[in-house]
A and B are shown apart, each in its own frame.
Chain A
Amino acid sequence: MVMEDAEAPHHMLLLRNFMAQGLVLGQPLLYSSPARDPRGFLGTLPSPAASKDDKSRERDPDQEKGLRIAWQYKKYLGESQLDGQRDSKHEYSNEFDLRKPLERHFINGPRIDCVSIQDCPDLSTLRDRCATFLSQFPRNDGSISCAGRIAIQSFCAPQCAYSNMEWDMLSFIRYLKSMVRSSNSVAIITFPPLLSPSFCKRWQHMADTLLSVKAIQDEDKELAQLLTGYQDMVGFLNVHKVARINTQVPVILEATTFSIKLQKRRYLVLECLNQAPVDGSSGTSYGTSGGWSSSSKTGNLDF
């Protein structure tokens, strides 16, 4: 689950990568959002970034010229090229080029289901669509060739009619979690910070993996001094919890705060920030931990 920031759309960057990755790997996708026409968002999904292998293949003609003397080796070059071309299956990759939209044939496939949650008076429609979608990926048959991805954007957005039905939303999340656990699928839910504090905490506890994104203030001199590369940063990503299922070994991350950068406005890059010593006994809820504040007045940086 991703806790959004009311002032910045960084959760969309994460969703885009998640959805594009699934489509490129041939995994069916269910996407739901409060927009009237969620399908429109699919047009903004990024294409996989050109991998380094591709680049090396392009350089081959030049390399061939260089092998005038070592002509014996040309035959090896030719072979690797052929191999590369035969293998059209996409490698698993986290690199996406935001400037290049995903190819049409990925988006027009039948394996994408879009649901608009704006006009639903309650969550039964969404629940049914999720159930139908997830029934395609039963876990018990042993093969994991097909996995499904669910992306629910801005789940408790204020324009949804059910947005004040807090217990219903909570029970939907529990339901979804149990369905996802018993099928070959993953789900991402993003939600804006408009819940009452007690429900916000409940939702945080429901999550297996919990992230939050934060906006960054423009022209903040304090931050600019503290952080290198401030000019390129567009926001922060905090990792609050990482899923540990079927194991008791906790995961200890080197860093829990990452800066979100858009390299050349094309590639989403997450970089570690150094973590200051954290007071372990604070016991505050995830949303407020670290005392991070986005206003420059307090300047209270504790990550």
Chain B
Amino acid sequence: MAESICRALRDGALEGELAPALTIKDSVASPFALQVFSHVLSQLFSSILAGKSQSRGLVVVSFSRSPSFYLDLLKNKGTDIASSNNQIQILDCYSDPLGWKDQLAGSRNFTALSNEVLVSSTAIVFREVKHMDKLYNSIIELGKGLVGGGKIRFSIAIDSVDEMLRHAPVSSVARFLSNLRSHDQISSIFWLLHSDLHEARVTAVLEYLSSIVASLEPSHQLANGQRGDLENFSLIKHNSKKGKFHVRFKKRNGRVRVMSEEVHIELSGINFTSLPSEGAINQGLVPKVQFSLQLSEKERIDKANVVLPFEHQGNGKPIQIYDGRRSLVDGKHERPFAAVENVQTNENCGSGEIIYYRDSDDEMPDSDEDPDDDLDI
């Protein structure tokens, strides 16, 4: 399903439509948005290099990390940065977002104090993050520099929108993003958001502007106000490596597709696996009760092998109706199935059996001495 996201970004925009936009949002309880963002970025870039995507170039607008982070990331994923200079450009809003270093250098007549290594021609420093219009123009310029003019499209990755919102009001950022989406040459756009840093309205605005919303949630919700509890400690440990990944796609026909996966963070990167059934997840958390609520594998197979009454009638065998009097014990001793109701039949077809134990033989015979006609053995 992370696959579906990458595919949606790869396929890009149709003519006359807004470009698909992805919000990757997380919170302090499950802070994996950066890993997901990096994963999506590297996947998209590989498909751009392989020529499999609609877009022919990628512009990374980096606010919270230095450009070298992305270049190293892509290098570690095996892509050859040196030869792909004309397919990725980074707009560096990290080194000097408000132009202070520049001003310092200018007013004191120094040569620039920059001790950051110039990362070749891949990164361009941008110094006016308060001006959304200029940011917009720089991005478009960079993109056109990559893919040329005309109808060829490029993609944009923004890390992260939180930083943008520190410098500019919500309406400017919203206008910036919606203008990018409606630009003819933009194939897809995705951004990172830490929802704890903003009011609910801001998160709602960003979700309104995107066509895919991917949110990270902790696998196990912690009980409020019990952070120090021993019980919760194991959950916290659990949550630091795993999480749930929920995605909402806004489809073209107006319907919303909701998908969920589990996400594991490992040293080598991030792994997405399909969500196991609820029972397995909660196994460690199910309260201990005196009877077994789960079926073991053998029990499951045996249960599947039982032939139900209506299935074997009409076979030519004599039909015996259970009259509620006897408890027939046959075959191996097996635990009564708590999940199966007390079916008062006793099958003996050699593979699966339902065995009914009466609580005591002294009991009065079961009250329905006139059982159903189809209640046969």
Q: Which residues of A contact B (CB under 8 A)?
A: 6-10, 34-36, 118, 157-161, 163-164, 192-194, 196, 215-219, 234-235, 260, 262, 294-296
Contacts and interface: CB of A to CB of B under 8 A. Distances in A.
Interface string B140-179: 0000000000000000000000000000011100110111
Given A158-B209, A160-B171, A194-B201, A36 B182 contact: yes
Q: What 5 pairs between A and B have smallest CB-CB spacing?
A: A158-B174, A159-B175, A234-B254, A218-B255, A158-B205
Interface of B: 169-171, 174-175, 177-179, 182, 201, 204-205, 207-209, 248, 250-251, 253-258
A216 B255 contact: yes
A260 B254 CA distance: 10
Given A158-B205, A159-B179, A194-B204, 8 more contacts: A8-B255, A34-B178, A164-B169, A192-B208, A194-B205, A196-B201, A215-B254, A218-B257
Given A7-B250, A218-B251, A118 B175 contact: yes
A7 B170 contact: no
B165 to A, nearest CB: 12
A9 B258 contact: no
Of the listed residues A6, A8, A161, A216, the one surrounded by the most CB atoms of chain B closer than 10 A to its CB is A6
B123 to A, nearest CB: 29
Instruction: Name which of B177, B201, B258 has the most chain A CB atoms within 10 A of its CB.
Output: B258
Contacts of A10: 254
Given A10-B254, A215-B254, A159 B248 contact: no
25 contacts: A6-B207, A6-B208, A7-B250, A8-B254, A9-B254, A158-B170, A158-B171, A158-B175, A158-B208, A158-B209, A159-B171, A159-B174, A159-B177, A159-B179, A161-B175, A163-B174, A192-B208, A194-B201, A194-B204, A194-B205, A215-B255, A215-B256, A218-B251, A235-B255, A295-B258
A144 B209 CA distance: 41
Contacts of B250: 7-8, 215
B255 A234 contact: yes
A215 B346 CA distance: 51
A86 to B, nearest CB: 39
A67 B308 CA distance: 66
A154 to B, nearest CB: 10
Contacts of A34: 178
Given A217-B255, A219-B257, A159 B201 contact: no
A191 to B, nearest CB: 11
B258 A217 contact: yes
Contact of B256 (A157, A164, A192, A217): A217
Contact of B170 (A35, A164, A234): A164
Contacts of A217: 255-258
A275 B254 CA distance: 23
B258 A296 contact: yes
A262 to B, nearest CB: 8
A235 B171 contact: no
Nearest to A6: B208
B168 to A, nearest CB: 12
A301 B233 CA distance: 37
Contacts of A164: 169-171
Contacts of B248: 7
A161 B171 contact: yes
Contacts of A158: 170-171, 174-175, 205, 208-209
Contacts of B257: 217-219
**Residue from the set B179, B207, B208 with the largest chain A CB neighbour count within 10 Å:** B208
Given A215-B255, A217-B256, A295-B258, A6 B204 contact: yes
Contacts of A8: 250, 254-256
A71 B362 CA distance: 95
Contacts of B177: 159
B291 to A, nearest CB: 28
Nearest to A34: B178
B171 A218 contact: no
A35 B181 CA distance: 11
